[in-house]
Amino acid sequence: MNGQKEPMPSSDSPPPALRQHLLVYLSVYLLWLLLAERIDGQELLAGALAALVVTIASAPYAGLFSALRLTPAAPLHLLRYLGYFFAALIRANLDVARRVLSPTLPIRPALVEVQTRLVSPLGRMLLANSITLTPGTLSVDIDDDRILVHWIDCPPGADLETATQRIAAGFERHILGFLE
Amino acid sequence: MRLAGDIFLLIGALFCLLATIGLLRMPDTYNRIQAGTKAGTLGALSLLLGVALIQPEWWAKLLTIAGFILFTSPVGSSTIARAIHLVGIRPWRNPPIEAPEEEK
C-alpha cells in the first residue's frame, strides 16, 4: 500500500476509516482524563469504556476527520496556527475595545465575501470560526467556497480579492498545513 | 503568582465590561455580536488564565473549558448572524457622507 506518507510509527498502518475512529477514541479518552478528578485505575477503566461508547455513537460523523493530514509536519503547522490565532485574537479584542470606547464610534460595517481554498467541511468550519473570533469580522453564511463576512471596518470599495487577502489568507495558509 | 492571577482576573473583568458597553453602543445586531464575542471571548479566557495562576492544580479542567468556549462561542455568533441574515435584516451602514457605494 502507499506506505510513503504514513507518519505514524505503527507497525501496520490501519485503513483510513479505522484511523479516524481511533483518532476520535483517543481524543475523547484524553478529554475524559483531563476532566477526571485524579488518574487511577478506576478512572482509566471508566474512561476507556465511555470513550468507546462515544466513538460508536458518533461513528457516522467520523468522516469529518478524514480531512486531517497526518504528516510529521502537521503538529508544527497546528502550533503555528494556534500562535497566529491567539495573536489575531488579542489584536481583535484591542481593536474592538478601541472602537467601543471611542466617542465617535468609528465603524464602517459592510457585508463582504471571501473565498477559501479549503475543501473539507472541517477546514471550512475552522476558518469560519477563526474569522468570527478575530479582527472585527464575523462569519455570517457559507456557500461552497465563499464565506459571507460582516466586516466592522470595511474600506470603501473592497472587493472579493482584497477582502480575502485581509481576512482569510493568513488563517488559510496555516490551516492548509494540517487540513485539506 | 497570586498577583499575576489577580491582574489577569482584573483584565478579564475589564473585557467583559467592554463587551457590555459594546452591546449598548453598537447600532445593529451584527455589530453587537461583534462586540459581544470579541470582548467576551478574551474576557472569559483571561478570567480562566487568572484562575489557573491562582489554582494551578485546576489547569486540566480550565484548559478544557477554554477549548469549549473557543469552539462554541463563534458557532453561536455565526448562527445568530446567519439567522438574521436569512430573515433579511441588512447591516447598518454609515450615513452616506463619503465614498459613494453601490446600492444594495
Helix (H, G, I), strand (E, B) or coil at A9: coil
* pLDDT (tens digit per residue) in A133-154: 776 788 888 877 778 888 777 7
Which chain A residue's Cα is nearest to B29? A150
Which chain B residue's Cα is nearest to A111? B91
Whose CA is closest to B44, among A129, A93, A31, A144?
Answer: A93
Helix (H, G, I), strand (E, B) or coil at A153: strand
Contacts made by residues A2-11, CB under 8 angstroms, sequence distance 24+: A5/A71, A6/A70, A7/A70, A7/A71, A7/A72, A7/A74, A8/A70
B59 touches chain A (CB under 8 A): no
CA B85 → CA A140, B82, B96, B103, distances in Å?
7, 5, 22, 17
Check pLDDT > 70 for residue B44: yes
Q: Which residue has the cell 503555528?
A: A80
Instruction: List chain A residues with CB under 8 Å of B79.
Output: none
The confidence band for A16, taking pLDDT boundaries of 50, 70 and 90, is: low
Between CA A76 and CA A82 the distance in angstroms is 10
CB contact under 8 A, B34 and A156: no
Between CA A110 and CA B27 the distance in angstroms is 13
ipTM of the predicted assembly exceeds 0.90 = no
Between CA A42 and CA A47 the distance in angstroms is 8
| A81 burial via Cβ count (<10 Å: 0-12, 13-18, 19+) | buried
- Provide the pLDDT for residue B94: 65
* pLDDT (tens digit per residue) in A31-80: 888 887 777 788 888 888 888 888 888 877 766 766 676 677 777 888 88
B83 touches chain A (CB under 8 A): no
Between CA A173 and CA A178 the distance in angstroms is 10
Instruction: List chain B residues with CB under 8 Å of A152.
Output: 31, 34
Instruction: List chain B residues with CB under 8 Å of A133.
Output: 37-38, 41, 70, 73-74
CB contact under 8 A, A129 and B101: no
- Can you give the residue ranges of every domain in chain A? 3-67, 74-175
- Across the range A159-167, mean pLDDT stands at 70
Between CA A180 and CA A124 the distance in angstroms is 9
The confidence band for B10, taking pLDDT boundaries of 50, 70 and 90, is: very high
CB distance B71 to A130 below 8 Å:
no
A107 touches chain B (CB under 8 A): yes
The confidence band for A9, taking pLDDT boundaries of 50, 70 and 90, is: very low
Please state the φ and ψ torsions of residue A108, each to the nearest 5 degrees: -130, 70
Check pLDDT > 60 for residue A3: no
Whose CA is closest to B10, among B49, B68, B37, B58?
Answer: B49
Helix (H, G, I), strand (E, B) or coil at A68: strand
A97 touches chain B (CB under 8 A): yes
Taking the CA of residue A84 as centre, how many other CA atoms within 13 Å lie in the half-sphere pointing to its CB? 17
What amino acid occupies position B97? I
* pLDDT (tens digit per residue) in B88-100: 777 777 655 544 4
Check pLDDT > 70 for residue A1: no
- Across the range A97-103, mean pLDDT stands at 80
Whose CA is closest to A29, among A42, A46, A15?
Answer: A46
CB contact under 8 A, B98 and A109: no
CB contact under 8 A, B71 and A35: no
**Mean pLDDT lowest among A86-95, A170-179, B67-76:** A170-179
* pLDDT (tens digit per residue) in A104-128: 777 777 777 787 777 777 788 888 8
